[in-house]
Structure 1
Amino acid sequence: MSALEEVLIGECKADAVVQTRIDEIIAGRFACREFCDAPVPRRTIEQILRVARFAPSGANIQPWHVYVLAGAAKYRVSAALLEAHETSSDEHVSEYKYYASDLPDRYLRRRQEFGRLFYGSLGIAQADVEARSYQTAKNYTFFGAPVGLIVTIDRRLEIGSWLDLGMFVQNVMLAAAGRGLQSCPQETFSKYHQILRSLLSIPEEQMVVCGISIGRAKVSTMDRLMPRAEVDEFATFVGFEA
């Protein structure tokens, strides 16, 4: 049984499961960190964004903006971010906080497990600061992907609009996967918002939220590295007893 089938069917072999194309796309998506350099046409990205824009948003305010980078423009951004990462990383900080300072145990354990699995898969010891920094630097080359997105939100909006933005980002990644592409959402771009603001003429009212790398995965098939909690760990069903 493939990893995808296990995700969709689990241990309930007796139950009839209808596997749809969207199920395959959702369960087959992964954060790709190694792309091949096969080009992705502008029209394909336009198609992806045209579909992603149908993400729901409160009062239909559609709080997202996307800067789409390819070719020389992408390389200029990568070069500037790599230089900052190597020479002045401590001088840069994101405008928002991604993780809580004091994570509850359940989430702390998952974060620690991520570190063990991710760096372990790369043969990097968690104590190897230099190797970890080198791996982080690959983010700023968009992991070799031919297209990089920088996603922003208007800083004057509230938390609800961030929920909307998350659904838009997910739509982007699923629309890409539906076209045989993979992606990687990257919060780490937010750290260098000052550099991105200058290079891309991002208005002051826009806050840099993340980047997204898009392209064809270097390896055509990959097993999901990160485990997911079972449904009974995060869902409470009420009223189904009857």
Structure 2
Amino acid sequence: MDVITAIEGRQSIRDFDASRAVSDDLIKSMLGTAARAPSGSNIQPWHVYVVRDELQRKITDACVERFLSGDEGEAEYHYYPRSWRQPYIGRRRETGFGLYGLLGIDKSDKAAVQGYRIRNYQFFGAPVGFFFTIDRDMEPGSWLDYGMFLQSLMLTARARGLETCAQAAFCPYHDSITPLINAPEQEMLVCGMSMGYPVAGSLINTYRTSRLTADAFTHFPS
């Protein structure tokens, strides 16, 4: 798959075929390719934890239990703005209403919304999950580097016939997850990721978010 096709076709997949395994050798190969992502002074600030089988189920159980109890948790960093404003809140609403609308879920239907949100913690059925951490003393530049690493992994997965869904939904439950994956205290959870082969014909996998044209965000100062 060429780079442009990989980028333009990438989307968050939310329904994976649990019966199709992803081998350790393939995972290591993809991570090795992703590690060619650029990082300032080549410090390569990423740590990766691969989970499957029983450990994956333990993480799912811990997160679902907290979620169903009403415990929303608290992430260690602010992924989104503290105060929403336009145009960002409008883009967020478009995405949320579009996804729930496709599934026929009314956002006022708390049970249906809750049922869908639980799928995050079930890795959307993916046979393998990833958790990415960064040392707490790293600065914003290393977080920028991390984004390039994550994008490289997602594109590499597409080149190998797999798909992904990067998930900040796990971050509020970092204090349940990091002990299970044996991450040291000096590491902070950046996000999780589900990876596998998508379920063919799945309705939710047809959902595509819109994008601005380059003219909408590009400036040529004179």
Q: TM-score, with normalisation over the residues of structure 1? A: 0.86
What is the aligned length? 219
* Contact map agreement 2:99 2:207 (CA 8 A) in 1: no
| 1:82 equivalenced with 2:61 (yes/no) | no
Q: Deviations over 1:10-52 (max 9, x none)?
A: xxxxxxxxxx811111111110000012111111111110000
Question: Which amino acid is the alignment partner of residue 44 of structure 1?
Answer: L
Percent identity (aligned): 40
1:158 aligns to what? 139
Question: Which amino acid is the alignment partner of residue 121 of structure 1?
Answer: L
1:70 aligns to what? 52
Provide the rounded CA distance (Å) in 2 between the counterparts of 1:21 and 1:199: 37
Q: List aligned pairs for 1:90-109, cutoff 5 A.
A: 90=72, 92-109=73-90
Structure 2: tracts of 5 or more residues without a match:
none
Provide the rounded CA distance (Å) in 1 between the counterparts of 2:47 and 2:31: 11
Which has more radius of gyration?
1
SS in 2 for 1:124: coil
1:236 aligns to what? 219
* Contact map agreement 1:189 1:209 (CA 8 A) in 2: no
Q: List aligned pairs for 1:197-216, cutoff 5 A.
A: 197-216=178-197
Question: Which amino acid is the alignment partner of residue 77 of structure 1?
Answer: I
| 1:149 equivalenced with 2:130 (yes/no) | yes
Higher-RCO chain (CA-CA 8 Å, sequence separation at least 6): 2
* Contact map agreement 1:57 1:161 (CA 8 A) in 2: yes
Q: How far 1:197 sits from its partner (Å)?
A: 1.7
Q: Please give the root-mean-square deviation of Cα atoms over the aligned residues, in Å.
A: 1.6
Structure 1: tracts of 5 or more residues without a match:
1-19
Provide the rounded CA distance (Å) in 1 between the counterparts of 2:82 and 2:70: 24
Provide the rounded CA distance (Å) in 2 between the counterparts of 1:128 and 1:101: 26
Q: How far 1:193 sits from its partner (Å)?
A: 0.6
List, as ranges, runs of 4+ consecutive aligned residues in structure 1 with deviation greater than 3 Å.
220-224
Range 54-63 or range 123-132, more displaced: 123-132
1:12 aligns to what? none
Provide the rounded CA distance (Å) in 2 between the counterparts of 1:49 and 1:77: 22
Match of residue 210, structure 2, among 220, 227, 232: 227
